[in-house]
Amino acid sequence: MILGYEGNKAISISGIVVGLIFTILLVYTWLFSYLAKNKNQFILKLPYRTKINVNEPILRAKWRYFQIYQLKGEVQNYSILVILRKKS
Position 88 pLDDT exceeds 70: no
C-beta of residue 79 within 8 angstroms of C-beta of residue 66:
no
**One-letter identity of residue 80:** I
Q: What is the pLDDT of residues 44-61, one digit of tens each?
A: 888 888 888 888 889 999
- Counting beta carbons within 10 angstroms of the beta carbon of residue 73, is it exposed (0 to 12), middle (13 to 18) or buried (19 or more)? middle
CB within 8 A of 74, min separation 6: which ones?
52, 53
Position 5 pLDDT exceeds 60: no
SS3 47: coil
What integer is the mean pLDDT of 34-41?
83
C-beta of residue 42 within 8 angstroms of C-beta of residue 52:
no
Length of the chain: 88
What integer is the mean pLDDT of 15-39?
87
